[in-house]
Amino acid sequence: MRARELGIPFEGTPGPLNAITDVPGVEVGMVTLVSGEGSLVTDQGPVRTGVTAILPVGANRARDAIPAGIYSLNGNGEMTGSHWIAETGGLTGPVMITNTHAVGTVHRGVIEWTKKHHPESAIEWLLPVVAETWDGYLNDINGPHVTTDHAIAAIEAATSGPVAEGSYGGGTGMNCYSFKGGNGTSSRIVHFGGTDYTVAAFLQCNFGDRDELRIAGVPMGDLDVPNPMGEPGWVSEDRSRAVPGGAGSVIAVIATDAPMLADQCRALARRVPLGLARTGTAGGHFSGDVFLAFSTAGAGELSSGFPTTRRSEATLRNLSFVPWNFMDAFYNAVVQSVEEAVVNALINNESMVGRDGHMSHALPHDLVMQRITSRT
């Protein structure tokens, strides 16, 4: 069940799937790794992790550069390839999201996939984009469980259909506001110049302190979890064993089919924190909050050939864009879709037990709706 289906109110008009795949051409694939239980044995488990692949213009056009921009609210995190995106305003290839200690492996997986499917790109240099959040509360994060083959499989599994939310792919072992977190996505329709465009967000949510949480503007920070596992004698959640809050990170990917310049994509990325703030967070010091935004409208227009292309063979390129003074509707769409994506990650989820018996409780739907309805 997603947040809207539960009855939580949100502003704006979503696309058909209310997901990042509402942007034409965007595909998402995931590999989920869940095995083992009990005490942590490094390199053996328990395993609660995975990898997510977002293909902005699909697998066949993965070598086409598109306008993109990055913004970091707090830099205690990683997104490889970000310096080149900042330098050129362009993004090429898949966007991967995994756990903190699997970045290198997934990076290599993208290279292996590109060698096979786009060898003309691989003969030069590759700067894959791989982002991360930390899942060590539930997962044997130091174990080599995410492999290059998993990264390849996530890319090859990418489709344009509904997107798995909650505890799947890179979001498998993540927590949000000390509840079970992970993946969330949402989209908004923006009408401009006689055309309906889509702005959409995909988040890997692993951030926030329980006391900060707000949903639809209603404080939820003092919620207890009533007997989520059917345990006899349960009274209320033992806060001393609750998921540590305030750290962990959030990665946001914003996609649109509206024509944008690279600076406008950066402007979209800078609006992500405003959507996060609607859910309560003030941005923790130990949380890596890194955001990427891209426009698919200019696919291929930034590509000017490989370094071996002769200058005499190069041609001028043209790129359309939304006038700056009409960007507000797109900014609003980012804020609205980010807020709903966070709540979807919390709502469309289940409790999970990880290493050493660590429990991450799902957000209690009934208590949330009791509070929201009592305020309306």
Pairwise CA distance, residues 97 & 288, whole Å: 13
Is 60 exposed, middle or buried, given 0-12, 13-18 or 19+ CB atoms closer than 10 A? exposed
Q: Which of 82, 187, 287, 295 is catalytic?
A: 287
Q: Which of 249, 295, 337, 360 is catalytic?
A: 249
Instruction: Give me the amino acid identity at 17.
Output: L
Report the Cα–Cα distance between both ends of the chain, in Å, rounded: 22
**Is-catalytic flag, 72?**
no
Pairwise CA distance, residues 57 & 15, whole Å: 18
Q: Cα 30 to the chain's mean position, in Å?
A: 12
**Is-catalytic flag, 240?**
no
Sign of CA dihedral 209, 184, 288, 253: negative
Pairwise CA distance, residues 324 & 307, whole Å: 32
The upper half-sphere exposure of residue 320, i.e. CA atoms within 13 Å in the direction of its Cβ, equals: 8
The answer to whether the beta carbons of residues 17 and 186 sit under 8 Å apart is no
The four Cα atoms 197, 202, 207, 213 give a dihedral, to 10 degrees, of 50
Pairwise CA distance, residues 277 & 2, whole Å: 20
**Is-catalytic flag, 289?**
yes
Q: Which of 64, 209, 257, 289 is catalytic?
A: 289
Q: Is the peptide bond before 46 cis (omega within 30 degrees of 0)?
A: yes
Name the residue among 81, 78, 104, 165 with its Cα closest to residue 343: 165
Q: Which residues contact 322 (CB under 8 A, 6 or more apart)?
A: 192, 258, 259, 260, 264, 330
Q: What is the largest CA-CA distance in the chain?
A: 79
Residues serving a catalytic function are: 249, 287, 289
